[in-house]
């Protein structure tokens, strides 16, 4: 056997051996299959079935995945952000470059979806109904910005992302942060908290589903404040936005109660001396709790809702408690005036 032929055989053997030893992650492998052509991921397939990485990739499921169009790519329910985070960690664990490549394709999708005003829609490129609105609901925009912040600061395993992304990522963070500052609801010139979604053009609070009115939204506002508190060397404007939101949460906390949503029981506020809650939604001007129903009606009391909506939504929660009692004091000690 000639030396040239021998070297060729050895190289082929080594390549085959390396490929055989390449570590894989079963969930990451499924995420590669579900990723859409534009780089994003769906939360539901074309037939409206929910994405489930625990399910086996049967021929029938693979056919449904293949039939799902790019318009189903979304940031709702942690879709896309969940996969990017997981794939980056899977790459760190396995050094399988396919995972990092898919994560960076997801990052390309995130950057492409941002509006010029800094906001992100719930879906992209689908612009139908409320899917085009700037969406803080369920932390959609905050999840994206937290990933970008991790890339910019090289934290939470995101130091593995190609450095070429840094200029675009940093620009997107600046625009996204400015969008947050501009959309913080003001009452007679005083900053309060945020709505769950905003019209993409007017940047004014907007409704989503019939039971989700244009209103102040406590759960989402906590996520926004936490993101703003991540920013190093915050400007005076950012500090003011944070302080105003904390003041609002402290002013409108409901003490002595907890929200009970146990299965089989009617959802209600229950007396609890150690409890602290906020309603999910508040009137944009009056700061009083709002409750929406399927028929597009707005109620002032939980008890006025239809049984299905009363028991099917988190109308109260202790979202701001840890923020005002522990996280903000810690942040203030490090960033106070």
The residues assigned a catalytic role are 77, 209
Tokens found for residue 229: 């508190």
Q: Is 132 exposed, middle or buried (0-12, 13-18, 19+ CB in 10 A)?
A: buried
Maximum CA pair distance of the chain? 88
Mapped onto helix, strand or coil, the DSSP state of residue 6 is helix
Instruction: Please give the distance of CA 8 from its chain centroid, rounded to a whole number.
Output: 50
Decide: 282 and 288 in contact? Cβ < 8 Å. yes
Is 306 in a helix, a strand, or coil?
A: coil
Give the other-Cβ count within 10 Å of 238's Cβ.
18
Q: Is beta strand 289-292 parallel, antiparallel or unpaired with respect to 298-299?
A: antiparallel
Token pair in block for residue 20: 């055989």
Q: Is 282 helix (H, G, I), strand (E, B) or coil?
A: strand
Hey, how many other C-beta atoms are within 10 angstroms of the C-beta on 237?
A: 12
Output the six-digit token pair for 143. 């999840």
């Amino acid at each position: 056997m000639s030396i040239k032929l021998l070297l060729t055989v050895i190289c082929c053997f080594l390549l085959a051996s390396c490929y055989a030893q390449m570590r894989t992650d079963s969930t990451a492998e499924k995420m590669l299959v579900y990723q859409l052509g534009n780089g994003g991921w769906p939360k539901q397939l074309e037939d409206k079935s929910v994405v489930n990485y625990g399910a086996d990739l049967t021929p029938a499921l693979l056919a449904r995945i293949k039939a799902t169009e790019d318009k189903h790519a979304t940031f709702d329910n942690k879709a896309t952000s969940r996969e990017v985070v997981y794939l980056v960690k899977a790459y760190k664990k396995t050094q399988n470059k396919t995972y990092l490549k898919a994560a960076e394709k997801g990052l390309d999708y995130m950057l492409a979806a941002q509006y010029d005003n800094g906001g992100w829609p719930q879906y992209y490129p689908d612009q139908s109904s409320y899917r085009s609105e700037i969406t803080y609901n369920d932390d959609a925009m905050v999840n994206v910005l937290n990933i970008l912040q991790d890339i910019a600061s090289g934290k939470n395993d995101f130091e593995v992302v190609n450095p070429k992304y840094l200029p675009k990522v940093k620009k997107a963070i600046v625009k996204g942060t400015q969008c947050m500052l501009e959309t913080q609801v003001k009452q007679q010139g005083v900053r309060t908290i945020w709505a769950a979604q905003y019209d993409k053009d007017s940047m004014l609070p907007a409704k989503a589903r019939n039971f989700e009115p244009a209103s102040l939204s406590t759960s989402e506002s906590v996520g926004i404040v936490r993101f703003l508190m991540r920013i190093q060397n915050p400007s005076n404007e950012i500090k003011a936005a944070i302080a105003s939101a904390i003041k609002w949460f402290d002013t409108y906390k409901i003490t002595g109660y907890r929200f009970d949503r146990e299965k089989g029981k009617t959802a209600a506020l229950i007396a609890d001396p150690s409890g602290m809650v906020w309603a999910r939604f508040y009137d944009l001007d009056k700061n009083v709790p709002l409750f929406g129903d399927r028929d597009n009606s707005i109620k002032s009391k939980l008890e006025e809702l239809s049984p299905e909506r009363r028991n099917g939504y988190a109308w109260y929660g202790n979202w701001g408690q840890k923020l005002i009692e522990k996280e903000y004091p810690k942040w203030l000690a490090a960033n106070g005036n």
